Amino acid sequence: MTTWLYCLLSPPRPDLLPAGATGLGGTPVRLLATGGIEAWVSSVAARVDADLEGARTHNQVVEVAMSTGRTPLPARFGQRFADDAACLADIARRHAALDAALHRVDGAVEMGVLLVGASASPMARSERPDVAATATSQPGHRYLETLRARAADDERWRAQVVEQLLAVDESVRALVRASSPAEVGHGRVAGSMAHLVTGQGVSAYRTAAARASLAPGFRVVVVGPRAPYSFCAVEEDVGTILAT
Amino acid sequence: MATDDELDEGQLVLGDLLNHVLDKGVVISGHVTISIADIDLVALDLRLLLSSVQTALARGSGSPARRLGGKRE
């Protein structure tokens, strides 16, 4: 068995863990604590599939932690430790950075907007761009011109999406503690953005986001409140593996 | 009964939530194994931060090559 991490909270309040709270595979959620930080964990098998149900269960435990009236620092799905001692040792080693992150999100929730566009991005569409004006008899040249035209279309699309997200950001700015970078998508969701909002500001956020002035063909779907997944960056001297 | 728009929005919200659970949230350390259908896709002994390329580019600075570090198990 290994120790699966769901989230971190501060200060430790073992009395607030609901009786019968379960995590992945129905395993009981337990609390660990070190240096004023509480970790919600459960003992899981060495192999856990990254399936929809697992991700939902992970988030449900985080939501239970939110229901205790504190703001959890949600752990990214998939973090397992050899045992409780290993989990505590890693928390203790990064204590200062984690404590700072917990203070940053204290008393807040994450709200977000999904920008839904009338049409998909050029990169997501299957049709080729119209390159008749630039086509030549040379197939290689034509191919490269096609790529260039498609990239230009995509760049214009991205700029338009970012412009809409910044309009939403402007509309809610007075209500938020922090904003995440605008993210551009390629599917049904043209882009998204998250905001850190105090618990009392959720209703006003919904209203302000819905009032943002958007270009025709765009609308926003407001999501949240949820745990501050987008505001968990912990600045540490760690390397990065880029996984595709 | 839910309308098509409501069902559609529900799917969008669920997709966004999954994106958050799998690609955001605090990373401490430990051992990460991501498996699908009993096949281990990624196994990392972390003193590292695992991130998608899109997230790393959105948050980071400089070229992806400069941010490559650590070693893959």
What does the pLDDT look like over A14-41, one tens digit per residue? 999 999 999 999 999 999 999 999 999 9
Q: What angle do CA A224, A26, A62 make, to 5 degrees?
A: 25
Q: Do B17 and A223 touch (CB under 8 A)?
A: yes
State the pLDDT confidence band at B69, using cuts at 50, 70 and 90.
very low
Is any Cβ of chain B less than 8 angstroms from the Cβ of A79?
yes
Torsion angles phi and psi, residue B55, rounded to 5: -65, -45
CA atoms of A125 and A106, how far apart (whole Å): 42
pLDDT at residue B29 greater than cutoff 70: no
More confident position, A101 or A236: A101
Half-sphere exposure of A40 (CA within 13 A, CB side): 36
| Residue of B21, B23, B34 to mutate when probing chain A, most A C-beta within 10 A | B21
DSSP A118: S
Tell me which residue in A46, A52, A240 faces B67 most closely, judged by beta carbons.
Answer: A240
State the pLDDT confidence band at B52, using cuts at 50, 70 and 90.
low
CB pairs under 8 A between A and B: 163
Looking at the DSSP bridge assignments, the partners of residue A172 are none
Tell me which residue in B24, B31, B49 faces A240 most closely, judged by beta carbons.
Answer: B49
**What sign does the CA torsion over B28, B29, B31, B36 have?**
positive
Q: Do A47 and B53 touch (CB under 8 A)?
A: no
List of E strands, A126-203:
176-179, 183-184, 189-198
pLDDT at residue A205 greater than cutoff 90: yes
Q: Do A242 and B37 touch (CB under 8 A)?
A: no
Among A9-13, A84-88, A122-126, the range scoring the smallest mean pLDDT is A122-126
pLDDT at residue B61 greater than cutoff 50: no
pLDDT at residue B50 greater than cutoff 50: no
B contacts of A238 (beta carbons < 8 Å): 47-49, 69-70
Q: Which residues contact A42 (CB under 8 A, 6 or more apart)?
A: A3, A4, A6, A22, A23, A24, A27, A28, A29, A30, A61
User: Global pTM?
Assistant: 0.77
State the pLDDT confidence band at B49, using cuts at 50, 70 and 90.
very low
Contact (Cβ atoms closer than 8 angstroms) between residue A199 and residue A109: yes
CA distances from A217 to A59, A177, A187, B19 (A): 32, 29, 15, 24
